[in-house]
């Protein structure tokens, strides 16, 4: 198990890279998703236009966040839905515990929510003597294993079917199988019982529609529908950035989210929840609460360099395409939100000092920016975070010194030529083939220097 803090990023990366099984699982899963996504995008020939519109919609929402949050809150009140603002995780957890104890709830079913991971809600509720059951299959697997999600849309992506089969037989005493259909059947039966007995359901939200006070939930399994229908109490916990001005805008984003997340045109279920159960109805929650969590989001919002990261609709595409994520998996980041976008969100939610390492775990290739459905300039923002880390002296002094020397050499032709001559002269001492597979270069080889430098060739060619 990796260290659950971004502080140990480097250590975790080293460990992940030696874990062959993990590398194959992650690579296989991310590549499959990317392939499916590509075929849907090719079908939708308007992808680039959709991305531009989605970017504008998210920009309007984030630039006027206070206005739309107030509108959403007002509409919710009209719908009989109570809205609670929480400035941090602790406040949110306290609110949830209060709602649950007022409703004497002992058993809670949860549908997938990264925000509840962010505020470590499960731990807090368990401490208060409340049984919490994750009901998304991937999350249920992770909960049984006592781990955290390694991807925001496919939390158990790092596990093979054999590992899951073993986990089910060890923890649940069920006959071992590696057949995904049978394993899924096991969880259906166990979780169905929990759903029917649950006192409260907790969900996140994919979008909040301001003009109608609607909670939008996107899913494939049906567990979010069950968790928000069977129990008498439904609690929504979500970040303040999820608000979207209008129904039409929400539906445009709805075209992009499943495509980017799983390569589907639409998910099996999209629930648009407006109000609790009407006396005429025979099912549905009697009470709905929406907890709007800040937890560092205002900090991102105030900074023009980072506020576009709040446009994120949490599809996970930047993780799938990132060469670093593909090689090390989500746990190595030691943060709730892994991958490129996670490297921007994490320092804001904890502190730059704790999360700065993550921004350095990027090749700055820009694949994340290219795939982002809402066109967040992810790799430029990562570069800015690196810049801040250097400016705040969070990087080692020797590194700073080295770059200062490098800069003065690169700015001075005489020094540059002199130094390259010295290196060339010294090369035979370290071997003509360059440094290969030596202990100092575990992952990278230093190539052999050319017989003649570019400058020398240039000069001799010119004199001809």
Partner 1 sequence: MDHNALIAQFKSELEIINGECFVASNYEIAAKIIASFINENQYKSALVNNRFQLNESLFVNSAINIKYVEEFGTDEEFKNGVVEADVAVSYAEYLVAQTGSAILIASNNEPRLLSLLPRANIIVSEVANLVPDLSVAVKLLNSRNLFVESNCVTIISGPSRTADIEKVLVTGVHGPKKMCVIIVNLEKD
Interface residues toward partner 1, by CB under 8 A = 25, 28-29, 32-33, 135-138, 141, 154-156, 159-161, 164, 180-181, 183-184, 187-188, 191-192, 195-196, 212, 220-223, 225-226, 229-230, 247-248, 251, 254-255, 262, 264-278, 280-284
- Cβ nearer to partner 1, comparing 29 with 293: 29
Q: How far is the CB of 243 from partner 1 (least distance, A)?
A: 17
- Cβ nearer to partner 1, comparing 46 with 66: 46
The residue among 23, 25, 34 whose CA lies nearest residue 261 is: 34
- Cβ nearer to partner 1, comparing 284 with 366: 284
Q: How far is the CB of 119 from partner 1 (least distance, A)?
A: 23
Q: How far is the CB of 262 from partner 1 (least distance, A)?
A: 7
Q: How far is the CB of 394 from partner 1 (least distance, A)?
A: 37
- Cβ nearer to partner 1, comparing 188 with 455: 188
Q: How far is the CB of 342 from partner 1 (least distance, A)?
A: 20
Contact present, 119 and 134 (Cβ < 8 Å): no
Handedness of CA 393, 399, 405, 408 (dihedral sign): negative
- Cβ nearer to partner 1, comparing 235 with 300: 235
Helix (H) or strand (E) holding 201: strand 200-203
Q: Where are the alpha helices (DSSP H) in 413-453?
A: 413-430
Measure the CA–CA gap between 77 and 99, rounded to whole angstroms.
17
The residue among 262, 204, 227 whose CA lies nearest residue 135 is: 227
HEC letters along 301-367: HHCCCCHHHHHCCCCCHHHHHCHHHHHHCCHHHCCCCCHHHHHHHHHHHCCHHHHHHHHHCCCCCCH
Q: How far is the CB of 181 from partner 1 (least distance, A)?
A: 5
Measure the CA–CA gap between 320 and 370, rounded to whole angstroms.
12
Q: What is the DSSP letter of 439?
A: G
- Cβ nearer to partner 1, comparing 290 with 389: 290
Q: Which two tokens stand for residue 162?
A: 């054999």
Q: How far is the CB of 364 from partner 1 (least distance, A)?
A: 29
- Cβ nearer to partner 1, comparing 221 with 241: 221
């Amino acid at each position: 198990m990796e260290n659950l803090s971004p502080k140990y990023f480097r250590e975790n990366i080293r460990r992940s890279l030696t874990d062959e099984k993990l590398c194959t699982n992650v690579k296989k899963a991310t590549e499959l998703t990317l392939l499916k996504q590509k075929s849907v995008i090719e079908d939708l020939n308007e992808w680039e236009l959709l991305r531009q519109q989605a970017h504008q919609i998210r920009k309007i929402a984030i630039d006027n966040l206070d206005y739309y949050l107030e509108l959403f809150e007002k509409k919710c009140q009209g719908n009989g839905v109570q809205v609670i603002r929480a400035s941090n995780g602790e406040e949110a957890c306290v609110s949830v515990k209060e709602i649950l104890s007022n409703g004497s709830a002992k058993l809670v079913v949860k549908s997938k929510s990264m925000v509840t991971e962010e505020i470590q809600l499960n731990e807090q509720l368990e401490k208060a003597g409340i049984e919490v059951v994750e009901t998304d299959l991937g999350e249920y697997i992770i909960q049984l294993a006592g781990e955290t999600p390694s991807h925001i849309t496919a939390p158990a992506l790092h596990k093979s079917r054999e590992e899951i089969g073993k986990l089910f037989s060890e923890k649940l005493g069920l006959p071992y199988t590696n057949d995904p259909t049978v394993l899924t059947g096991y969880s259906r039966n166990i979780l169905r019982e929990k759903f029917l007995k649950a006192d409260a359901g907790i969900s996140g939200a994919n979008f909040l529609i301001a003009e109608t006070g609607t909670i939008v939930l996107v899913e494939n399994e049906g567990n979010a529908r069950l968790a928000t229908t069977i129990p008498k109490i439904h609690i929504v916990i979500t970040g303040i950035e999820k608000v979207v001005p209008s129904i039409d805008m929400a539906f445009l984003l709805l075209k992009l989210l499943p495509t980017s997340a799983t390569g589907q045109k639409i998910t099996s279920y999209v629930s648009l929840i407006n109000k609790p159960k009407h006396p005429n109805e025979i099912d549905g929650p009697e009470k709905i609460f929406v907890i709007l969590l800040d937890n560092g989001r205002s900090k991102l919002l105030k900074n023009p360099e980072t506020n576009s990261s709040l446009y994120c609709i949490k599809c996970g595409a930047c993780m799938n395409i990132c060469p670093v994520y593909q090689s090390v998996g989500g746990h190595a980041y030691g943060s709730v939100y892994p991958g490129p976008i996670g490297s921007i969100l994490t320092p804001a939610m904890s502190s730059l000092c704790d999360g700065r390492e993550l921004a350095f775990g990027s090749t700055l290739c820009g694949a994340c920016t290219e795939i982002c459905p809402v066109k967040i300039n992810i790799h430029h923002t990562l570069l800015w975070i690196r810049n801040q880390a250097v400016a705040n002296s969070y990087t080692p002094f020797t590194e700073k010194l080295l770059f200062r020397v490098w800069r003065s050499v690169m700015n001075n032709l005489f020094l540059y030529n002199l130094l390259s001559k010295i290196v060339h002269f010294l090369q035979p001492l370290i071997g003509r083939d360059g440094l290969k597979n030596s202990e100092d270069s575990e992952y990278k080889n230093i190539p052999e220097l050319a017989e003649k430098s570019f400058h020398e060739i240039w000069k001799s060619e010119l004199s001809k």
